[in-house]
Every structure is written in C-alpha cells, then in structure tokens.
Structure 1
Amino acid sequence: MTPDDATTPPTPTTDTIPSTATAAASGRGDGIEIRNVTEDEFPDWIRAVGVGFLSTPSAAEAEIEGRRGGVDLARTTGALDDGRFVATYRSFPQTLAVPGGTLPSHAVTNVTVSPTHRRRGLLSRMMTADLAAAKEAGTPVSTLIAAEYLIYGRFGYGPATKATAWTAELARTGLDGRWSGPRDGGRIDLVPLEEVRKTAPELYGRFLAGQPGAVSRDERWWKLATGEIQVPSMPWTEPFWAAYRSASGELEGLAAYTSDRKWDDAKQPDNTVTVQQLFTVSTAAERALWEYVCSLDWASRVRSGERAPDDLFPDLLPDPRAARIQTQADFLWLRILDVTRALEGRTYEGEGSLVLGVTDGLGLAEGRFRLEAGPDGASCVPTGDAAELTLDIRELGSLYLGDASPVRLTALGAVREERPGAAAVAERLFRTARRPWCPDVF
C-alpha cells in the first residue's frame, strides 16, 4: 500500500461495505480497539498513516483537508491503543478492467501498522473482517498495490500485473531529429488543462474498456492530476499535455510529461523528460505520441514511467538498445472473492474445459469449480468432480488477468497438476496475447 491518494474512490459500484464491517475484528481483550474512524479522529488517523510509511509523524492542516476529500469514513478503519491510532486501513469501490470487460472491485489502501505494534495481528484482524464484508456484499475481486511483497499472499492476494520503466538516451535512439508530425495524417497538439479536464475522462473510459488491469478514475482523480486540488504531500508541477487526433479528428491519445530543465557544464541543454501519463485507444496514437516525446528539442533522455512489460515503447525506437530498463517489478495484486462471478466475468482467448481445485486459507472462495471457457465467455460452476488442477486462491489471482503462466507456476510447485496436460489447458485459457497493465498507484 501507499499513502498516495492520487487515485481516490471512483464512482460507486455495486460494492457497498457496511460500516459495521470491523465489528468482528474488535473485542480481542488486548486493550486494542479496531473500529471505524470518526470525523474528529481523522487528523490523528492521517498522522498514523504517516508514521506507518515513515513519511512524517505529523500532518499540517492543509494536508489533512486535502486528503479528507477522498476518504469515506464508513470504510476507514483504525486500531487504537490507549486512544492513539497504531494501525490504519481503508477500502473503496473501484472498477477493474478484465479481459473482455470490467468488474466491480474492492480496493484496499492506506494499510499501516506502527512500528511499536508490529506482530500483534492487527493487520490480520482488519483485513479478514473487511474481506469477509466485501464477500458478503457480493464483490467478486479485491485489489491493492503491495508496498511489501511478503505480506499479502497470506490473505489470498497474488501479483496480477507487472510494471516496467525505461530510460531512453535520445542520442542513441537512431531517430533522425527531423520528426515533424504523425505519419498517418493525424496531428498532435498541446492542450491546456481546461481541455484536459473536459476530454481526458471520456478518453480514459474508452482506454479502460480495452486495457485489462487498468482501474477507474473518478472526478477527484482528474482534479488532482490537473492541479485543481493540491495536497502538500503530493507535490504537483503542471505538465505539458499532448493530444493525438486521427485524420478524422477523433481524440485517440493523451500524453502528459515534465522536464527537469538542466544544462551541462558546456551550457548545453541536458534535460530529462518524464512521461507521467500516456494512454491511447489506437496503436497509431501510441506510436505518434512516443515519437513526439522522443523528438522534443532540448531533451537528452526520456523516462517512460511505469508501463506494461510488453509496452511498445522501446521497440518503436530505431535502436531499442537506447532504452534500458530502470525498474521491473510486480504492481497490481488481486484477490478473488467469488470464483464463479470472477471467472465468468472475463473472456478467454482459447477454448477448453477444466476442473479447478481452489484452496483458500481464509475460507472465502475455496472449492472445486468446472470452468467451460472460450472467446465468447465462460461458465463456471461448483462441482463434485475431481480436480484437474489444484491451486491456492492467490495463484488464481495471479492468473486471472492473463499475465502469469500456469505451466510456469506448475514447474515452480505453486500449482499442482492432477491430470497430465491440465496446466497446458489452463495456459491456453488464461493467458492473453498482450500483458495486463495498471497505470495507477492507489
């Protein structure tokens, strides 16, 4: 998790968690009370978030006010010891793009335990109660960004997407420096913030519909991204926004980027351009925007930001070696709460039938399920038939968006093949031609 509220609760979906969700987590008799946070307690709760993430032990009034607007107190939990918050936890409704569509998701963030209260089961008490309430409310999946890898697998989450960031040295790209516009008759224009606020949400909605792993953005997200709302802990510098329109005038892509404005000792510009956003609904727009960013005068290098591992960026350069990997790691984690609804909620590029034996340490989604799947959808029903492939709910979460390989997980011992060839069937069903990608931290 991260204290960054740059992605805040989107428009509510069917996922509504009652404010009594923490009742089962309290009353342990250890003097620590776990419950929802009140309005008056919110400043202290925010300070506890800062303590847990080693950011700051205090929070200014502007910080508290700025963050309050993105928080539903009915879904904001804290653990109190002698009146002081020693652990924090928050959830919100989210829409998650999956292969072939979207599903409501239960997003989790702001998870901390103060260093004075580690190893006392506080996270377990908060998370198990919250996930049980999400399951009862009928939400099929839960999502989070894991600050630490080893924590969330025991709650049934598996890494479902990865992210890669590149730095490209522009002098080595092989670009001729004479780029003058898109090759396909489209055009790129710099657009003001007012236009971004009007046009970007609709474009992002189209992008979301076709990008498994992406998550919804609400009005507050866009106000933060365009500086209309500013929070001290999230320093904002106005970026340049470039819009790609096709030859017919259709908006198909947006890129936001900043520059550090540096000069070298010989008084030559030596700027690093950092791409903050680049999302498109066509490959023509993707190519044009990357070529534009990599052809900016006064720029020596471009940082891509965190992209899908199979992003086109490096291979759009004449010399892909000019782009070196800066970061590559897991990103979005996913926990399935309702196997039937989740597996029936996506499409599959291959066709086949498979009986999955699913284990779940929290007892929320275990059982045996027969999956009949194909490009047009799927049927997934509980069955008494013997399992052909046995796996834990965390591995099913890793497979769900199409990134992880069932064959590889079987080789690693994380998935057990009960029938020879079952892993290969799962490979044909679950894997996707392009890898899922989540652009947002939340």
Structure 2
Amino acid sequence: MTVEIRTITESDVKDWARTTLTGFLTPAVPTDDDVAQRVKYAGLDRCQGAYDTHSGRCVATFRSFAQRLTVPGGASIPTTAVSGVVVAPTHRRRGILSRMMAADLAAARERGEVAATLIAAEYPIYGRYGFAPATSLCEWEIDTLRAGLDRRWAGPQDGGRVDLAEAAEVREIGPQLHERLRARRPGVIDRDERWWKLATGLESVSWRPYKERFHAVYRSADGEPEGLAVYAPADEKWTDAKTPDQSLAVHDLIAVTPAAERALWHFLCSIDWVRRVRTGYRAPDDLVPDLLPNRRAASIVTSADWLWVRLLDVVRALEARTYEHPGVLVLEVADPDGPAGGRYRLDATGERPVCVPTDGAPDLRLGIAELSALYLGDVSAARLALLGRISEERPGAAALADDVFRTALRPWCPDLF
C-alpha cells in the first residue's frame, strides 16, 4: 500500500477526526459542531494526515501545538506538544508514525522550539524518537473517617475562608492561579483560554460531554484568591439504605500557598456524606497524605509516568533552567535521528548557567532520551548509570550530575493533552 502524508485542510477535518477517535476506541462520529471547533482551534497547519492512496481513507493522524513548559528556576521554554497520534490498526508497522514524527520535530526545531512534549498512551512507542518520561504522578484515595481530621471543621483558623464559586468566577480567577503555580513548579504547562472554557462547560465536544462540577475557592485573610478545588461526586452509595457512603473525585486543585492547600484538602475531606476522596493526579511528593493526622488513611491507587520530554536544542534547554548545586559537566549526547547530538560543556557554577559545544573529554555519555529524562530534575543519573543507560567516563560524574540536575520539589504536570 502507498501512503501519502500531508498537512490537512478544512475539508479533511471530519475524516481526520473520525480516524483519531477510532484510534482511541471512541466510536462517536464527529458532529458538525465538533468539526467547526477543530477547524477553529486545532491549528490545521500543524495537523498531519496519512492517506491510503488506494482507498483515499485517512489512516493516521498527528497533531502538535505550541506550548510553554516551566523548567527548574521558574522560566518557561517553548515546546511543541504532540497529541492526537493515531495509526489505524490496518496500517501499523509501516513507518507512518516515524515519518510524521520526523517532519514535526524538524519543523519544531526550525520554529525555534526547544523541546517536544507528549503524554504517552503506550509506553514502548516514543523512546525510539528520543522521548523519555520526565515527570510522574500519584493519585491517592483518602478514607475520610480514618484520616484524623476534624469532620466538624467550620473553616480555616488562619483568617482565610473557603467559598463555593460559579463557573464564570472560575474562568476569571483560575487562569491567574494557574500562572502563579506554573511560575513555581517545574513540569507545569500553560493553559489557554479554551482549556478553561472546556473545563467550566462554556464549550464542549460530543465525545467528551461536560459534566457539572463544584468549585471551591480559598481566599486569604486579605481576600486574595490563593487556591481552587474542582470536584464532583464519583458515585452514590448508601450502606443498608441508612448510612451515606459517598465518594468524591477531585478534578483539579491549585494551591499557591501551603495555607490554601491545607484548607482545601480539609474542606474536601469534611463534606457531609463523603466517605472517600480521590485526589486526582497529583505530584509524587504532594503534601496531601502528610496533611492528614493519619497518613495511612491515604492509599495510593495510581503511580505512573506522565509528561514525556524530548530535547531539540540542548544549549538553549540547559541554559534556560537553574541548578541547585554548582558543577561543571561535559556531556556527550547521541541523537542519531535528530538535531541534538554533540558534546556539550555545562557550567553551572556562575550566576547564570552556560552551555557550549566542546571538544573536551566527556564526563558522561548518554542518549538524547536520557538527557531529556534528566532535564526537569526528577530522574537520577546514578540510577540510569546502574541501568546501563548512561556511561560514566569520569568516576563520580553521575553523582555530580545528580547534585546538579535534581530539584528539591519534584516536577509535576497536572494536565492531559
């Protein structure tokens, strides 16, 4: 079979969208409104489709869009976010994804984007393109009766308050809170205006209809919004038809101060009828389990890799972030199918890091996937060396890399895209 890959046009969108939904095992047929929204928001100039020249059908889809990724130190870098990747089950193992990925990464480098990101639905696919998991997450289920919190809680004791809010208010204060979070936590990505419209029901798509949710805002003693929780009942259950046994699902929780985080979790765990609280996808070092007097009341129900990163411009990437411990490392990076290969000297001893190409002897040899894994500070170079994925050319270089690259707070990406 011959397959043509091209940038899609407006007339292709319905067939392209149907192929995407089919790949994710969603049988819905895109409505006219769905198509109109994709035309308006998808950025068709960055959407690729693969077409079987015999049948004319779209057999693979690929989309990317501009994104900002926060790196250690609070700066953000421009990235290409990869999404909507599908190859029809009838056309697998023919190099279609490899062709689309190569075209997108080359275009991203040409645009000046520093890295590529994605959320991997399947683990084995993306390592061969230089991607690696750079953040992880956890989800806890809290047994509110065992947690040890005061279930007669009447509100924060710090002068702040928790108020219920309407969706319109969330669209006003939510973006500001998220930007404050993004400025302080590596791994967080930006949310555009449409993200907030979809999250609050102002817009919806047929295959993922909006369901009403509750919103709670924490305000400090001076009235400043410092936290937001979005939650909904997960099920309704009564024990012996007499005792409420409700579960609550947290869809989003932004807290920019410890006081806000404490207050919102206490609020959620003290709502009447609620026996269990699912926290949603949180940072692996999130405060929530240790905010409970009885930590064992919080059980991990999900622990997984999340945001995958692929560096495209090593110099700009390494100079964009900060390093908590000084050090100098020479890294020999292998990137046989991409633009990032070479030998680089990272000097993190001054006020600002400096990264330059060099002919000096390498301290570490590693692939671009391994460097991408290290980039946000969550992965251990020493551990990668033990796994045989990094070659230590100078004794102690992997330990030094851990000192230089690791961060006090683990990176976290709260969003799916």
TM-score scaled by structure 1?
Answer: 0.91
State which of 17, 20, 25 in structure 2 corresponds to 1:46. 17
What is the rounded CA distance, in whole Å, between the counterparts of 2:35 and 2:244 in structure 1?
39
SS of equivalent residue, structure 1 residue 253? strand
Contact 1:46 1:59 in 2 (8 A): yes
Match among 139, 146, 162 for residue 188 of structure 1: 162
Shift of 1:375: 8.0
Are 2:87 and 1:116 equivalent residues in the alignment? no
- AA at the equivalent of 1:86: V
Residue 266 (structure 1) shift: 2.7
The equivalent of 2:63 in structure 1 is: 90
The aligned residue for residue 334 of structure 1 is 309
Structure 2 contact 151–269 (Cα < 8 Å) conserved: no
Structure 1 residue 57, shift from structure 2 partner: 6.4
* 1:270–1:298 CA contact under 8 A, matched in 2: yes
Counterpart contact for 1:189–1:242, Cα < 8 Å: yes
Give 2:86's aligned amino acid: T
Question: Which aligned segments of 4 or more residues in structure 1 are displaced greater than 4 angstroms?
Answer: none
Report the CA distance shift for 1:426/1:44 in structure 2 as closer, same or farther (over 3 A).
same
Q: Does 1:147 align with 2:121?
A: yes
Q: Please list the CA deviations of residues 344-366 of structure 1 after superposition, one character each: whole Å capped at 9, or x if unmatched.
A: 00001110100001001313100
Match 1:439 to one of 411, 414, 417: 414
Take 2:76 and 2:24, find their aligned partners in 1: how far apart are those partners? 31
Q: Does 1:250 align with 2:241?
A: no
CA distance in 2, matches of 1:68, 1:167: 39
* RMSD between aligned residues: 1.3
Do residues 225 (structure 1) and 199 (structure 2) align? Answer: yes
Of 192-201 and 366-375, more deviation after overlay is shown by 366-375
Indicate whether 1:35 and 2:10 are aligned: no
Q: Which amino acid aligns with 2:355?
A: C
Alpha-carbon spacing, 1:374–1:142, altered in 2? closer, same or farther (3 Å): farther
Residue 47 of structure 2 corresponds to which residue in structure 1? 76
8 Å Cα contact 1:156-1:361 kept in structure 2: no
Equivalent position of 1:20 in the other structure = none
Q: Is the 8 A contact 1:350 1:375 kept in 2?
A: no
Looking at structure 1, the residues matched to 183 and 123 of structure 2 have their Cα atoms a distance apart, in angstroms, of 28
Q: Is 1:273–2:244 an aligned residue pair? A: no
8 Å CA contact retained: 2:139, 2:278: yes
Query: 1:387 maps to what in 2?
Result: 362
Residue of 108, 111, 136 corresponding to 2:110: 136
Report the more deviating stretch, 297-306 or 241-250.
Answer: 241-250
1:430 is matched with which residue: 402, 405, 414? 405
5+ residue gaps, structure 2:
none
Match of 2:336 in 1: 361
**What residue number does 2:236 align with?**
262
Q: Distance in 1 between matches of 2:33 and 2:45?
A: 22
Question: In the alignment, is the contact (CA less than 8 A) between 1:96 and 1:215 conserved in 2?
Answer: yes
Percent of aligned positions that are identical? 55
Q: Give the match's secondary structure for 1:41.
A: helix
After superposition, the Cα gap between the structure-2 partners of 1:68 and 1:323, relative to the gap in structure 1 and judged at 3 Å, is: farther
Distance 1:428 1:63 in 2: 48
**What is the match of residue 413 of structure 1?**
388
CA distance in 2, matches of 1:283, 1:98: 21
Contact 1:48–1:57 (CA under 8 A) maintained in structure 2: no
Distance 1:183 1:338 in 2: 49
- Amino acid of the structure 1 residue aligned with 2:82: V
Contact kept? 2:227, 2:256, Cα under 8 Å: yes
Give a deviation string over 1:253-309, Cα, whole Å, max 9, x none: 111110135132333211111111101111111111111111111101000001111
Q: How many residues align?
A: 413
Distance 2:15 2:191 in 1: 27
Contact 1:141 1:338 in 2 (8 A): yes
2:66 counterpart letter in structure 1: P
Give the unaligned 5+ runs of structure 1.
Answer: 1-29
Check the 8 A contact 1:173/1:319 in 2, yes or no.
Answer: yes
Q: What is the TM-score normalised by the length of structure 2? A: 0.97
